[in-house]
Each structure stands twice: as structure tokens, then as C-alpha cells.
Amino acid sequence: MKQSRPAPTLQDVAVYAGVSTATVSRCMNTPAKVTAKTRTRVEDAIETLGYAPNFGARAMAAQRTMTIGAVIPTMENAVFAKGLQAFQDELRQYGFTMLVACSSYRPKLEAEQIRALVGRGADGILLIGHERDPAIYRFLDAQKVPTLVTWAFDDTAPRPSVGFDNRKAMAKLAQHVTKLDHRHLAMITAPVATNDRAAARLAAVGDVMDAEGLVRADLFVVETPYSIDNGAAALDLILQQRPETTVVICGNDVLAVGALRQARGMGLSVPDDLSITGFDDIDLAVVTHPLLTTVHVPHRQMGRAAAQMLADMVLTGAPATKVELATTVKLRDTLGYPRQSQAAR
Amino acid sequence: MKQSRPAPTLQDVAVYAGVSTATVSRCMNTPAKVTAKTRTRVEDAIETLGYAPNFGARAMAAQRTMTIGAVIPTMENAVFAKGLQAFQDELRQYGFTMLVACSSYRPKLEAEQIRALVGRGADGILLIGHERDPAIYRFLDAQKVPTLVTWAFDDTAPRPSVGFDNRKAMAKLAQHVTKLDHRHLAMITAPVATNDRAAARLAAVGDVMDAEGLVRADLFVVETPYSIDNGAAALDLILQQRPETTVVICGNDVLAVGALRQARGMGLSVPDDLSITGFDDIDLAVVTHPLLTTVHVPHRQMGRAAAQMLADMVLTGAPATKVELATTVKLRDTLGYPRQSQAAR
DNA sequence: AAGATAAATGTAATGGCTTACATTTAAGAT
DNA sequence: ATCTTAAATGTAAGCCATTACATTTATCTT
């Protein structure tokens, strides 16, 4: 068991190299302050002893960890994976290391993980979406850990954030839909209770319906967790309950792809018999047939921008700001005119 | 800056609650040993002060972190994301926390990250693939950190591992290919230099060619990094250089999907004009048209099994073992007879 | 009600590293 | 050669939670 582990310490290295612990420490942190000769001697000692600095001790002594924590809902969602990869790559430029935790969309778990990350000495925290128990924000404030919210942009929220306005973005797409004269809309969305991005996208569709003289309450909504199969099942349900539906707006590409598969499996032609739209513009969207109409989100850019901002906040105590990134509607091949009004073409 | 951070300590909590630090510590670690009354008092203090235990100090004092480190090539690859998610979920059952780092297929970076993870007190390490600088294994041994290799299985390797035999798995698929009478094969693979899984898959195709009386050296190979676009470009190159090619075996699904897109974009019918196969069986594979013939890898199962094994190794010092998981060839719609011999159908 | 025993709590040493400050060594000036 | 001054190195205090051991308090016997 671990107890028996006699890992070499700074002390051991110092003795082996015949210098003081301070010198060894300097070799690792401020090499310029050490003679080349002693440095090589120390480096050799480190190598032969197989020494690795004890991070806990270092964090405690230095009061700084050069670590940023990120809590995302899940790694399985390609959008987070992509954004996070960019975030990490950029962070490395600043000398930071990233720690990830996944909350599986469970608020309790998220709170726990935030605490764990802070306890681990994270110098800054990256969070997805604004909405969470105020106690968490209070905690973060008490700990004075700079926190950045991403994947969402909300002018009214008090926190710094780098993201896009989910409501605006989805509204843009929904406008395209209504402009094509669709009157019977349905939506497949991720569960909105613990996901403010999903909720915003759903609300956006309602907004547009209102504006276009449709009845918001007429929108048929199916909530289901993120997966291709669930998207397919949801479409099935929609067609059963509301066969008059002409367009299915999906809260994300994965659900849309599932819906698309199901529609085609049922012998429907997309978009001639039924239109389907997605959101995120992940790789999936450009390999389906027909190509998915969706909303492009600049995941990479978002990750990179978030890294720069958070690094700044931590390093220079930079003031909190809000950055809004633009999304673009990608009109591809799954959105067309509703079948009733095809003559209007 | 961080320096000014007066985060509450155990001491602060103890004072606030009017007890000793030991009692506070016990409240958190062995609540049964504390009176309900004092416990609530302490918990209140923790809540109001916004206290979070300092992980570094805890690790140092307890000599154990309940943390497992994982180093994967990249999060952007869905297979790792999926496996890792399962790994993490299972790990939580045992009370462990997972730390992830991404090496971007750069051996130097991987070594660095392994060191960092060990320094962070990881009680165990999960690695992808066997092949790496022996110095790393020596280091891990010196530190006595249980290490598990996954995503690969190799009887001859001395380390414990949970995975599948990439060579065998690809050979099974290649046999299906040759059985269909393809004689002009090409392969699109990830760069093999720092990726033993990719190398094994490539080697497997050669093995089968040899066994079938083909000339291994005739296999036209294109190495390119993981991305849909790269897969597309590679197909283009193949068709330019070896127009007689009848089947393109891809090292993974992402490359295959790119190749598929390109083939169809060039007006080729798949599989009538050209066969294409993938590897991994990720979501992408079942949304393309036609459906991708590929090798199914039990990512989730692998993640779960790895978690159990590694947790055991850490907790009970369980002896190192090797577990081989089975893969299955998914014959879907992108593999058919070569065009020359269509008459043979 | 006294004594024995168990439960609850407290005391203080410990772990590995960084860094302010003290000291030694080397380089440069005359 | 001698004295300044700067560079290199050393000394030792502190960061914070855990836990063995000591002490106090509560519970149970008889």
C-alpha cells in the first residue's frame, strides 16, 4: 500500500547533490538564480533519484498552484471536449495546468466538485452557464477564487463571462424557420431544469413564435437527455402526438441527428416532409445526409478567450469583464418549406 | 492577487466553533467519532466561513489523496471521452477522484504530465497504450505508483493492462476485406510514430495481406492526424496516386468518415465503387450514409474495468493482471466487393 | 455513589516545499 | 593585493490538515 512509499524528497535531492534545499528549489523555480554547474548537478540528482516535487507541499508553501479548475457537465459532449481542449492548450501558454471535473448535470455534484477544485488550490475556476445555487458563488467569493462563466452570455448576470447568448442565437435560427412559414413547430431539448443554456434555447423559440403571431404554448416540447437514440425516440413521440408537425427544432446537434435518423428510418424525406434543425455545429452535423442546418458556436475561440481572460484575472487581478461571442446560423439542407405550403415555392 | 487571499483554515473553523482542530478534522473524516451536537456546530462554522479543506495540506498529512490520474492523448477523440467518463463514474463508487491531462500525442508532454500527476499525489495512474520511454516506467516504479495501461492489450508487455488487442482486432476486419477479394488496398492511419495502437492496426493489415498471398509492401499508406478533413484529403491523395484502389481501410472512424465524405463528394458510390472501413464504432459511424463498417470497441466497459482494477491495485495492493476485452467487427454498409469482380457476386 | 470503562475531545508533532533574510563566494575596481 | 559590490548559496520559519497519544467527560456497574 501507499503508506510504504518512500518517495524521494527535496531534502534527499539536496543531500545527494550536496547543496541546500533552497538551491534545489531554485533550480526548479528560478533556474537563472543558480550557477550552471550546480544546476546540472542538481538535475542529475533529480534524474537518478526519480524525484517529483510534492505538489501539495509546494502549493502550501507557495500559496499558488498555477492550476485552473474547470467543471463541465460531461466530457462525452463534443462541444465541451472541443472548447476545453482549446482552453487547456491556451492555458499552457500562460504556464497554467488545467483540472477537469464532470458534474453530469447534477447541481449537487457540481457544488462538491467546485469545492474539491478550490481545495486542490485552483487559482481560478471555469464554470459552464450562470445558473447555480447562490451559496456556491458566496463560497467562491469567500475563497477569493476568480471565477469565469462560459458557454453563456447574459448581460444581466453579475459575473464575468465569455460566451454567446443562447437565447439570441436560437432566436436567429427560429426566425429562419418561421420565415419559411412553418406553423406547427416541435422542439426536442435537453432537460432544462438544471441547464440554463437549454432553457434559454427553448425560451427563444417561444419568443419568436410570439413575435410571429403564433401561440407559444402550441410548441410541442420533448425533454430528453443528450444522446442520438433519445433524439430518435423523441421524434417518434412527436410524430405520434402531433403528426401535423412540419419542423422539429432540436436543442443540440446530437438530438437532431437522432431525430434525422429516425425520420429517414420512417421513410420521411428531410426536409421535404419534415424539417429538422440542430444547435452547436459539431462534426456530426456535416457528415449526415442531408447536411444538418444548425447554429455554429465558436467553441475553440470560446475556450481560448476564456483561458486568456481567466489567466489575466488570476495573474494580474484583472477586472471582471463580459465578452460576447457571435454565433452564426448554418443554413444547410435539413430546413425547408413546410409540406402544406410547398406550392408557395 | 492570490497572495491577499485569506481563505479560512481548519484553525479558523475550530476557533469559530469553539473546539480543537482535531475535532473539526474528525467531523470531516470520521463523523461517527463526534457528538451530533458538536458536529452541527462545526458544520455551521464551516458553512458560514466558507471553508474548504486545503487539499495539499491534507495530502501531506494523510499521505493519501484518493486521486487517480489519467493521461490521454486528447479529449477531442470521442473514444477517449467515452471511456474516461465511464472510468470516472466507476472510480467515484470507490471514493476516488479523477484528474485528467492531455498529451496531444507528444511523448515529452506526456512524461511531464505523468510527473505532474504523481506530484499531485495521484495514488494511481492510468495510461493509454504501452509504448513510452522506459525512464517513465522507472520513475513510476521508483515512486511506487500503481499504473495501469489501457486501450491496448499485449501479452508480452510486463505491465498490467485492460484493453483489447489492436492488432488482432484490425486483423479480423482485414480478413473480411480480403475475403471479399480486394487486392488493391490502401490505408489511412493516424501517425504511427508515437501511437502504438495505430501502429498495431497498420501492422495487422500487413499481416493479413501476407497471409492472403498479397504483398505487404503494396499497401498504400497515408499517415495523417485525426480529423474529418484530413481523412478526406487522404482519400483524395490515394485516388490520385493509386486509382486502382478498391478499398480504403482507415485507422479510426473519424478518418473513415472524412474519406467517405470525400468519396461521395467525388461522385463515387460507396461501396460499389470503393469500400471504406473504420475503427472504434463511435456515434459518427451510425449516422453516415451509408452506415460505416467498422470495429466495435467496448469503450465504456474498458473504462469501467480499468477503474475497478486500478482502484483495487491502490486500495488492496492487488496483484497486477492483464484483462483482454473482445472487439467485434460491425459489418455495415461501406464494405462491399471490389468493382472489378462485381461479376463474381 | 464510587470506580471502571468507554466515548469525546484536546495537544502537538509531522509532512515537503518556498522564500525572506543571513551568509558566503566570486567578480570587478583600484 | 584589498576592498566593494553583486551573485550564489544556506538557514530556518511557515503553510495547513491529520493522527497518535493524552486528557477530560459521560455512561454504566454494582
Model confidence pLDDT, tens digit, residues A135-178: 999 989 878 889 999 999 998 988 999 999 999 999 999 999 99
Whole-number pLDDT of residue A118: 84
Amino acid at A73: P
Whole-number pLDDT of residue B30: 87
A331 contacts A191 by C-beta, under 8 angstroms: no
Taking CA atoms, A309 is separated from A127, B238, B253, B262, in Å, by 13, 44, 35, 39
Tell me: the pLDDT tens digits for A215-241? 999 999 999 999 999 999 999 999 999
Does the pLDDT value for residue A341 go beyond 70? no
Whole-number pLDDT of residue A143: 80
B9 touching A (Cβ < 8 Å): no
Distance CA A101, CA A72 (A): 6
Number of A–B residue contacts, CB under 8 Å: 167
Residue A314 distance to chain B (closest CA, Å): 7
Scan residues 153-182 of A and list those with Cβ closer than 8 Å to B. none
Contacts of B293 (CB under 8 A, 6+ apart): B173, B176, B275, B276, B277, B278, B329, B330, B331, B332, B333, B334, B335
Whole-number pLDDT of residue A2: 35
Q: With residue A205 as reference, give the H or E element that holds it.
A: helix A196-211
Distance CA A157, CA A321 (A): 11
Mean pLDDT of chain A: 91
Q: State whether B60 and A64 contact (CB < 8 Å).
A: no
As a whole number of Å, the end-to-end CA separation of chain B is: 73
Report percent pLDDT > 90 for chain A.
68
| CATH no. of B67-165+298-325 | 3.40.50.2300
Which residues of chain A are within 8 Å of residue B89 when distances are taken between CB atoms?
A: 104
Whole-number pLDDT of residue A117: 86
Tell me: the pLDDT tens digits for B315-336? 887 788 999 999 999 999 999 9
Does the pLDDT value for residue B122 go beyond 60? yes
Q: What is the mean pLDDT of residues B205-221?
A: 97
Distance CA B186, CA B181 (A): 14
B184 contacts B150 by C-beta, under 8 angstroms: no
Mean pLDDT of chain B: 91
A8 touching B (Cβ < 8 Å): yes
Higher confidence at residue A64 or residue B310? B310
Whole-number pLDDT of residue A249: 98
Tell me: the pLDDT tens digits for B235-261? 999 999 999 999 999 999 999 999 999
Whole-number pLDDT of residue A343: 41
Q: What is the mean pLDDT of residues B197-216?
A: 97
Whole-number distance in Å between B31 CA and C10 C1': 17
Does the pLDDT value for residue B314 go beyond 90? no
Q: State whether B81 and A81 contact (CB < 8 Å).
A: yes
Burial track A62-71 (b if 16+ CB lie within 10 A, e otherwise): eeebbbbbbb
Q: State whether B144 and A99 contact (CB < 8 Å).
A: no
What is the phi/psi pair of residue A77, to 5°?
Answer: -85, 120
In sequence order, what are the beta bridge partners of A293? A277
Q: Which three cell numbers stand for residue B36?
A: 451530533
- Closest alpha carbon within chain A to B259: A287
| CATH fold for domain A67-164+298-325 | Rossmann fold (3.40.50)
Does the pLDDT value for residue B343 go beyond 50? no
Does the pLDDT value for residue B138 go beyond 50? yes
Higher confidence at residue A197 or residue B286? A197
A284 touching B (Cβ < 8 Å): yes
Look at residue A125 and give its three-state secondary structure.
strand
Whole-number distance in Å between B147 CA and C11 C1': 39
Distance CA A240, CA B267 (A): 37
Does the pLDDT value for residue B339 go beyond 60? yes
Does the pLDDT value for residue A1 go beyond 50? no
Does the pLDDT value for residue A91 go beyond 70? yes
Look at residue B33 and give its three-state secondary structure.
helix
Nucleotides of C under 7 A from a protein CB: 8-12, 14-20
3-class secondary structure per residue, A254-314: HHHHHHHHHHHHCCCCCCCCCEEECCECCHHHHCCCCCCEEEECCHHHHHHHHHHHHHHHH
Residue B86's closest CA among B292, B321, B306? B306
Nucleotide with minimal C1' distance from the CA of B63 is: C15
Residue A89 distance to chain B (closest CA, Å): 9
Amino acid at A187: M
CB-to-strand C contacts below 7 angstroms: A 7, 9-11, 21-22, 24-26, 28-29, 51, 53-54, 57-58, 60-62, 64; B 18-23, 26, 32-35, 37-38, 57, 60-61
Burial track A229-246 (b if 16+ CB lie within 10 A, e otherwise): ebbbbbbbbbbeeeeebb
In 10 A of CB A200, how many CB atoms? Answer: 24
Query: In this structure, is the CB of residue A45 within 7 Å of any atom belonging to strand D?
Result: no
Tell me: the pLDDT tens digits for A29-38? 888 888 999 9
Residue B294's closest CA among B338, B251, B234, B236? B251
| CATH no. of B166-297+330-344 | 3.40.50.2300
Does the pLDDT value for residue A211 go beyond 60? yes
Q: State whether B139 and A317 contact (CB < 8 Å).
A: no
Whole-number pLDDT of residue A6: 65
Does the pLDDT value for residue B193 go beyond 90? yes
Q: Which three cell numbers stand for residue A169?
A: 442565437
Whole-number distance in Å between B329 CA and C6 C1': 64
| CATH no. of A2-53 | 1.10.260.40
Where are the CATH 3.40.50.2300 domain residues in chain B? 67-165+298-325, 166-297+330-344
Whole-number pLDDT of residue A54: 87
Does the pLDDT value for residue A121 go beyond 90? no
Confidence of residue B344 (pLDDT cuts 50, 70, 90): very low
B244 touching A (Cβ < 8 Å): no
Does the pLDDT value for residue A295 go beyond 50? yes
Query: In this structure, is the CB of residue B33 within 7 Å of any atom belonging to strand D?
Result: no
A303 contacts A87 by C-beta, under 8 angstroms: yes
- Closest CA to D16 C1' — which residue? B57
Whole-number pLDDT of residue B2: 34
Whole-number pLDDT of residue A299: 95
Whole-number pLDDT of residue B316: 82
Where are the CATH 1.10.260.40 domain residues in chain B? 2-53
B277 contacts B253 by C-beta, under 8 angstroms: no
Q: State whether B55 and A116 contact (CB < 8 Å).
A: yes
Confidence of residue B4 (pLDDT cuts 50, 70, 90): very low
Q: Which three cell numbers stand for residue A1?
A: 500500500
Tell me: the pLDDT tens digits for A229-277? 999 999 999 999 999 999 999 999 999 999 999 999 999 999 999 999 9
Best probe of the A interface among B66, B90, B100, B228, by most A CBs < 10 A, is: B100
Confidence of residue B291 (pLDDT cuts 50, 70, 90): very high
- Helices and strands counted in chain B (H then E): 12, 12
Would strands A328-330 and A185-189 be described as parallel, antiparallel, or unpaired? Answer: unpaired
Query: In this structure, is the CB of residue B182 within 7 Å of any atom belonging to strand D?
Result: no
Distance CA A272, CA A290 (A): 11
B91 contacts B68 by C-beta, under 8 angstroms: yes
Where are the CATH 3.40.50.2300 domain residues in chain A? 67-164+298-325, 166-297+330-344
Look at residue A248 and give its three-state secondary structure.
strand
Residue B42 distance to chain A (closest CA, Å): 17
Residue A125 distance to chain B (closest CA, Å): 13
Ramachandran area for residue B50 (φ above 0: left; ψ -120 to 50: alpha; else beta): left
Question: Could you say which of A1, A53, A60 has the minimum Cβ distance to residue B54?
Answer: A60
Confidence of residue B117 (pLDDT cuts 50, 70, 90): confident
